[in-house]
């Protein structure tokens, strides 16, 4: 089967022991903000435990070093395409504080830590980093399985292009239902003005009348063509972010598996519509049930609602609890012995990272994000230093289930004008290196959803569910499968 850069590609030996690939995508954390002090990782440059790097603060005319942030709720910073460019600042990696100060001028919600810092440092928490004291489960997953310390966003942009790339390897806009009408769009600035991600679109889509088209080819086209099962699971609630990612506050938008959106783009892909595969887009409860029953599809994507997304200003503790619940559900089920769980965060969320992103093409890579590979065949305590992005997830799936076939306009039978085949980028590593397929399958590592934390207070309220994004409201306990909750 054709695949790889030369059209003749041998898939990694042993990869077919993986029968279920599960991508759990969280929100808006840089690698340094979560694993900057993880032993052996390419973390924050330090000497004798003291950071040797800093970022200029235009307001105080000082240079602010990274600091240990014990607070469970963080503000982060703006993270649209212009902010990615500004934060990287031609490789200097020093625009993070200036970006926050520029965005905060338009703040209307002082309860958001990005608008009014509430910690004792009195500096933007984009320079803060967490340790095992705040995110013990994530550090345990890293120590028990494989940590990817050079995982980058696929594009130097925000959530919408990232999630489009996650399922298709490209981000574009299309004038009509013809793939030839699609034009490269890495930024998607103004997506919030299109009116495409709302209830009206869901009704239009159901009636076949929507004029919004994502007409290029996504991975599900190849999966359907080769009879490979897949599911895209969406948690009911609000969308995890503003549609304008350079803004810090906005009104919430409802999210479910029935509403096309930034975190649920597949219903808008014309190939999904043509294949009549919309039924594969399901509520999170279905994933938990299938994990329990041992009936997971070959490929799964799992998407959180706002409360559990870790998207600032949401609770890190609650997001970790949600992720732990999802991973526990797989580990406790019959499919664990043949599963690979890829845990990642879609973009950097405005948080500091010291590594200059490598240039791959006109679109990326973007800033560095955490990535963890969890599997009975994952190498224990391994740190993968190779260059990766979510394109590597597509590559792994294609190698495992499609014999190395790619989303390639020349070979996939559905040509589109994408500028390149991202899975074949020379810089892109291979996630198969995170595995030892010769080892005996390892047992589950089940973790508590509510582990101890050194945070001075864990929220007894929830951020993000009120009349405006970022408002503080009393909690609404939801202990059903569709909303794992640490409370």
What pLDDT tens digit does each residue of the chain (487 aa) get? Answer: 445 445 566 788 899 999 999 999 999 999 999 999 999 999 999 999 999 999 999 988 999 999 999 999 999 998 888 899 999 999 999 999 999 988 776 666 555 666 654 333 457 899 999 999 999 999 999 999 999 999 999 999 888 899 999 999 999 988 889 999 999 988 775 443 333 444 554 454 444 445 568 999 999 999 999 999 999 999 999 888 666 555 656 667 788 999 888 899 999 999 999 999 999 999 999 999 999 999 999 999 999 999 999 999 899 999 999 999 999 999 999 999 999 999 999 999 999 999 999 999 999 999 999 999 999 999 999 999 999 999 999 999 999 999 999 999 999 999 999 999 999 999 999 999 999 999 999 999 999 998 999 999 886 433 333 332 233 333 333 323 333 333 3
Counting every residue, how long is the chain?
487
**Residues 11, 404: contact at Cβ < 8 Å?**
yes
CA–CA distance, 349 with 157 (Å, rounded to integer) = 10
Q: 478 pairs with which residues across the strands?
A: none
* The CATH number, out of the four listed (3.40.720, 2.60.40, 3.30.390, 3.40.50), of the domain defined by the range 15-30+133-434: 3.40.720
Strands 62-64 vs 20-26: parallel, antiparallel or unpaired: unpaired
49: buried, middle or exposed (CB in 10 Å: 19+, 13-18, 0-12)? exposed
Domain boundaries, the chain: 15-30+133-434
CA distances from 111 to 108, 156, 312, 470 (A): 9, 29, 12, 7
d(CA 304, CA 320): 11
């Amino acid at each position: 089967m054709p695949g790889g850069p030369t059209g003749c590609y041998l898939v990694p030996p042993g990869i077919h022991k993986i029968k279920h690939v599960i991508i759990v995508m969280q929100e808006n954390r840089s690698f340094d903000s979560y694993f900057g002090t993880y032993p052996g990782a390419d973390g924050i440059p330090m000497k004798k435990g003291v950071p040797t790097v800093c970022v200029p603060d235009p307001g105080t005319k000082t240079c602010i070093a990274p600091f240990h942030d014990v607070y469970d709720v963080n503000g982060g910073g703006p993270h649209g395409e212009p902010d990615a460019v500004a934060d990287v600042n031609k490789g200097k990696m020093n625009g993070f504080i200036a970006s926050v100060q520029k965005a905060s001028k338009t703040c209307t919600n002082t309860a958001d830590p990005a608008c009014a810092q509430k910690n004792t440092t009195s500096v933007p928490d984009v320079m803060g980093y967490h340790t095992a004291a705040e995110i013990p489960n994530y550090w345990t997953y890293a120590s028990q399985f494989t940590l990817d310390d050079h995982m980058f966003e696929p594009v130097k942009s925000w959530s919408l292009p990232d999630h489009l790339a996650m399922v298709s390897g490209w981000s574009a806009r299309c004038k009509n239902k013809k793939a030839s009408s699609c034009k490269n769009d890495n930024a998607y600035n103004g997506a919030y003005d299109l009116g495409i991600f709302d209830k009206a679109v869901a009704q239009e889509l159901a009636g076949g009348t929507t004029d919004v088209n994502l007409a290029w080819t996504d991975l599900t086209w190849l999966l359907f063509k080769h009879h490979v099962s897949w599911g895209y699971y969406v948690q009911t609630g609000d969308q995890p972010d503003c549609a304008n990612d350079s803004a810090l506050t906005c009104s919430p938008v409802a999210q479910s598996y029935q509403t096309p959106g930034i975190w649920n783009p597949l219903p808008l892909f014309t190939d999904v519509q043509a294949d009549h595969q919309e039924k594969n887009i399901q509520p999170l409860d279905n994933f938990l049930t299938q994990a329990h029953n041992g009936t997971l599809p070959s490929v799964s994507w799992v998407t959180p609602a706002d409360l559990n997304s870790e998207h600032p200003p949401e609770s890190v503790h609650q997001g970790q609890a949600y992720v732990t619940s999802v991973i526990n559900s797989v580990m406790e089920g019959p499919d664990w012995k043949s599963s690979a769980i890829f845990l990642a965060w879609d973009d950097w969320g405005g948080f500091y990272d010291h590594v200059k992103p490598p240039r791959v093409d006109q679109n990326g890579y973007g800033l560095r994000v955490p990535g963890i590979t969890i599997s009975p065949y994952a190498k224990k305590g391994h740190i993968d230093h190779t260059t990766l992005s979510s394109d590597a997830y597509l590559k792994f799936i294609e190698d495992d289930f499609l014999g190395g076939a790619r989303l390639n306009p020349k070979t996939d039978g559905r040509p589109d004008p994408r500028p390149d085949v991202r899975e074949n980028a020379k810089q892109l590593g291979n996630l198969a290196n995170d595995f030892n397929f010769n080892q005996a399958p390892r047992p589950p590592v089940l973790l508590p959803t509510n582990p101890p934390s050194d945070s001075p207070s864990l929220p007894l309220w929830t951020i993000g569910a009120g009349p405006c994004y970022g408002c503080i409201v009393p909690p609404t306990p939801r202990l059903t499968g569709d909303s794992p909750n640490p409370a």
